[in-house]
Amino acid sequence: MTEFRIPQNAPVKPHKRHWQYCVGSGHALLALRTDWTAQLRFIHDTLGIERVRFHGIFCDDMRTLTDLSMQMAVAGAEQFEEYNFNACALAYDNVLAAGMKPFVELSFMPEKLALKEEGRPLKGAFFYKPNIVPPADDAAWRDYIQAFVRFLIRRYGAEEVRSWDFEVWNEPDLPYAFWNGTREEYFHLYEITARAIKDVDPLIRVGGPATSSSKWVVSFTDFCKAHGVPVDFISTHQYAGDPLGGVDDQGDEEGQAVPGESWEERMRRGAETLKTVEEKSFLNGFRALSPDKSETTDIPNDLFRKNAAKVRLQAGSLPLYYTEWNENAIFSAATNDTRKVAAYDVKAALEVADHVDGSSIWCFSDIFEELHPFPQEFHGGFGMLTQHGIPKPVYHALRMLREAGDARVDLGPNATLGEIGCAAFRGDGETQVLLFRQRMKNLELPAEKVRIAVELPKAPAAVTVRRIDETHSNPLKLWQEMGSPVQLTPAEVESLKTRSAVTDEPLSAAYADGVLSAEAELGVNDVAFIRIKE
């Protein structure tokens, strides 16, 4: 049996809820939807998250830059062009109406500004086909960026816009996905973009490099220092199940990931894989081509903690934001809907708290279509909520962290490092103890008992527990028991919300000689939140 003791006189430190700084979403066009906005408001109101970040504010589906030739194929019509940021404003209006602020990711390249050259694909691989190349003309890009910033200032006021963060691009270290260019070309894009923004208003915050796997921070900061380029914060990303390595993996001489096989080879391998799938649904085929590597590969659970500590030193005095992180980088992985994500996110959030200034879990909702808009309510999306707003286990885990006290009890460096971890908090006349059992592979192992010994000056008024386990906060299981219907009625959605809600239940405890003793059973990836009221 594992035991944790919480001394009465143990030192405390602030409970840093860095994950409340921001949360991720899909791409900008989704922010025009009423259901997206309603879910964002729910996330803000119940979890206290302050900002939202999404891709593609400049994607062609936002119609920010057009010319007459796009409507009429007449010689010379391309000379008649216009900026139109009204759709951007509607997206940001919805963010503000939800009580939040936008974390502005400046992406991707409008086609009219995009560099078009042989051998450099224009489009990225994702569902909405972003243009992922550098600008063809620096001056034209500069004018466009400055027009965008002036539009925002006129609409929202300089003081409001200065409270936002502006991040240049997304994951430029990933060719074919988000950036068909070199590392040096990204640094140049960052430079001309940051200078353009600062020339409009030097108090607007700009940062990058927004890389995957905690990469490029040293080379990025060295570049900015060497060229006097303004940078107000460092941003990068980290997933435990990230297939492309970590902070020490800088790729080839350009800092890019080295392709392991050709596209043709991947397609041949994929075709052989699909032959083995019996039920030929789109989702099953997708999962066969993109397997959940956290279930099939021995992926360490401490990559985020270790890399965040390294990047904290690399960033120096600049604020460090992890603008994407989560347990799994594989879209449609079945475990994304399970408590595996809840246990990992709790553990990771606690372990990196001393290294980051703000972070953004990817993402808040399954209203999301980066690779495909699946119709199934539970399809392995990244969201804390399903597409119809049913909270997943990770949402309930973050609700526990939100409601934990503002003072975190220092239990020493090893309290969260093992498979079974513990964190304790105090505030509002309570002591709270958060227990979790986290494993990367969702193995069927026997439950283990955990005992807590909490030193208290007097007997508590009440002891309760909230659980995330197989029978608590498991809407996926309830949906499967319904027969996994692709379509849910509004009444079924509300029923699943009610039946999977987490509630405080009495917990048996004993108090003697100034110590409260209680036990909990934890299966793999279970979470328990014990509240001890004075």
| 262: confidence class by pLDDT, cuts 50, 70, 90 | low
Say if CB 521 and CB 447 are below 8 A apart: yes
pLDDT at 382 over 80: yes
- Mean pLDDT over 412-428 rounds to 94
Burial group, residue 505, by CB count within 10 angstroms (0-12, 13-18, 19+) = exposed
Is 448 known to be catalytic? no
- Mean pLDDT over 311-318 rounds to 96
Residue with tokens 């010994």: 453
pLDDT at 524 over 50: yes
pLDDT above 70: percentage of residues in the chain: 95
Burial group, residue 407, by CB count within 10 angstroms (0-12, 13-18, 19+) = middle
- Mean pLDDT over 198-211 rounds to 98
The most confident of 141-155, 268-282, 301-315, by mean pLDDT? 141-155
Q: What pLDDT shows up at residue 508?
A: 96
Residue 117 is classified by DSSP as B
* β-pair partners for 67: 81
Say if CB 396 and CB 473 are below 8 A apart: yes
- Mean pLDDT over 336-365 rounds to 97
pLDDT at 199 over 80: yes
Three-state DSSP class for residue 103: strand
Q: What pLDDT shows up at residue 263?
A: 57
CA–CA distance, 425 with 440 (Å, rounded to integer): 26
Q: Spot the catalytic one: 167, 191, 295, 324.
A: 324
Q: What pLDDT shows up at residue 285?
A: 84
| Per-residue tokens: 507 | 């917990």
pLDDT at 237 over 50: yes
- Mean pLDDT over 107-134 rounds to 92
pLDDT at 253 over 50: no
What percentage of the chain's residues is helix, strand, coil (to nearest 5)? 35, 25, 45
| 265: confidence class by pLDDT, cuts 50, 70, 90 | confident
Is 324 known to be catalytic? yes
What average pLDDT does the structure give for the chain? 92
Say if CB 420 and CB 411 are below 8 A apart: no
* β-pair partners for 520: 450
Q: What pLDDT shows up at residue 273?
A: 82
CA–CA distance, 515 with 457 (Å, rounded to integer): 8
Three-state DSSP class for residue 293: helix
Q: What pLDDT shows up at residue 275?
A: 83
| 247: confidence class by pLDDT, cuts 50, 70, 90 | low
Q: What pLDDT shows up at residue 322?
A: 98
| Per-residue tokens: 254 | 């350009």
Residue with tokens 């649904």: 281
Say if CB 22 and CB 51 are below 8 A apart: yes
Task: Give every CB contact of residue 397 below 8 A, 6+ residues apart in sequence.
Answer: 339, 342, 343, 345, 346, 468, 527
Say if CB 320 and CB 211 are below 8 A apart: no
| 376: confidence class by pLDDT, cuts 50, 70, 90 | very high
- For 220-231, the pLDDT digits (tens) are 999 999 999 999
- Cα diameter, the chain: 90
| Per-residue tokens: 88 | 């951007």
CA–CA distance, 179 with 119 (Å, rounded to integer): 14
- Mean pLDDT over 346-374 rounds to 95
| 215: confidence class by pLDDT, cuts 50, 70, 90 | very high
CA angle 168, 170, 176 (to 5 degrees): 130
> For residues 266 and 404, which has the higher predicted lDDT (pLDDT)?
404
| Per-residue tokens: 357 | 């200034």
pLDDT at 257 over 60: no
CA–CA distance, 103 with 95 (Å, rounded to integer): 10
Lowest mean pLDDT among 95-109, 275-289, 380-394, 404-418: 275-289
> For residues 286 and 355, which has the higher predicted lDDT (pLDDT)?
355
For the chain, the straight-line distance linking the first and the last C-alpha, in angstroms and rounded, comes to 27
Backbone angles phi, psi at 32, to 5 degrees: -90, -5
CA angle 266, 272, 278 (to 5 degrees): 130
pLDDT at 528 over 60: yes
| Per-residue tokens: 410 | 């220092």
pLDDT at 259 over 80: no
- Reference 436, options 368, 340, 295; nearest CA is 340
| 261: confidence class by pLDDT, cuts 50, 70, 90 | low
pLDDT at 246 over 70: no
Q: Spot the catalytic one: 105, 171, 351, 377.
A: 171
> For residues 198 and 69, which has the higher predicted lDDT (pLDDT)?
198
| 278: confidence class by pLDDT, cuts 50, 70, 90 | confident
* Residue extents of the structural domains in the chain: 2-10+412-533, 12-402
> Got the DSSP string for 179-224?
--S-HHHHHHHHHHHHHHHHHH-TTSEEEEEEESTT-SHHHHHHHH
- For 437-480, the pLDDT digits (tens) are 999 988 889 999 999 999 999 999 999 999 999 999 999 999 99
- Mean pLDDT over 149-156 rounds to 98
pLDDT at 264 over 50: yes
* β-pair partners for 432: 425, 531
pLDDT at 250 over 50: no
pLDDT at 271 over 90: no
Instruction: Write down the architecture of domain 2-10+412-533 according to CATH.
Output: Sandwich (2.60)
Residue 506: enclosing H or E segment and its boundaries? strand 505-506
- Mean pLDDT over 152-166 rounds to 98
> Which CATH superfamily is 12-402 part of?
Glycosidases (3.20.20.80)
